[in-house]
Amino acid sequence: GAVVSQHPSWVICKSGTSVKIECRSLDFQATTMFWYRQFPKQSLMLMATSNEGSKATYEQGVEKDKFLINHASLTLSTLTVTSAHPEDSSFYICSATLAGGTFYEQYFGPGTRLTVT
Amino acid sequence: QKEVEQDPGPLSVPEGAIVSLNCTYSNSAFQYFMWYRQYSRKGPELLMYTYSSGNKEDGRFTAQVDKSSKYISLFIRDSQPSDSATYLCAMDDSGYQLIWGAGTKLIIKP
């Protein structure tokens, strides 16, 4: 149980275009979802926290107009990277917590590798 | 100085060895301490969590927290090739955001 999927698993796009990444909780309802970036040999960096039906809370330094997050239902959150640039190339991972669960028991998706050319 | 320090490795040990993975931290307010395991091209999965100080055991895994030294450890007994992965520590003080270590890549040689 507690499976999280992400789509796509990898994507290559041209500079200036937008890319949407989906995060779905397949067998549970997720009241809270988290979006992270992960660089090689570096820590997971929290980008934003989203709650179903509410605006996402972005971490300091994360441009909310560039990284649009929508948490439209209890099983789906999307991250849209707008006007992508090569420096946005990274591994993006989402996670979710169970409704009524603890914040530290996060269930992660397999990640999306974004390459911007 | 980073809030959480973790040696990225890689740490290579023979099958059957006892593995010790460690993190140090600077924020004495941290109360929750977690270990996640991440296989290549996969998202992390929670292995164990500990609240405050002490030890916690789960099968071949033991998590240890020493708050006086600001040091946490994960021990793996009878290590198996399937334990080869990156192990990330994470911790929190306020129940809002996890602070992550960089992860240690572990390789178990058959």
Whether A104 and B4 lie within 8 Å, measured CB to CB = no
Report the residue of chain A nearest B40, measured CA to CA.
A110
Give me the residues paired with residue B58 across strands.
B61
State residue A24's pLDDT score.
95
Give me the residues paired with residue B109 across strands.
B14
State residue B1's pLDDT score.
67
Q: Hey, CA dihedral for B103, B104, B109, B110, is it positive or negative?
A: negative
Average pLDDT, chain A: 91
State residue B95's pLDDT score.
66
Report the residue of chain B nearest A92, measured CA to CA.
B43
First vs last C-alpha separation in chain A:
37
Q: What is the pLDDT along chain B (110 residues), one digit of tens a residue?
A: 678 999 988 999 999 999 999 999 999 989 999 999 999 888 899 999 898 888 999 999 999 999 999 999 999 999 999 999 999 999 987 766 788 999 999 999 99
Rounded alpha-carbon distances, angstroms, from residue A66 to A19, B62, B76: 11, 42, 42
pLDDT tens for residues A71-87?
888 899 999 999 999 99
Which residue type sits at A21?
I
Residue B83 φ/ψ, nearest 5 degrees: -80, -10
Give the minimum alpha-carbon distance from A59 to chain B in angstroms, rounded to a whole number.
10
Task: Find residues 55-74 of chain A whose CB sits inside 8 Å of chain B.
Answer: 59
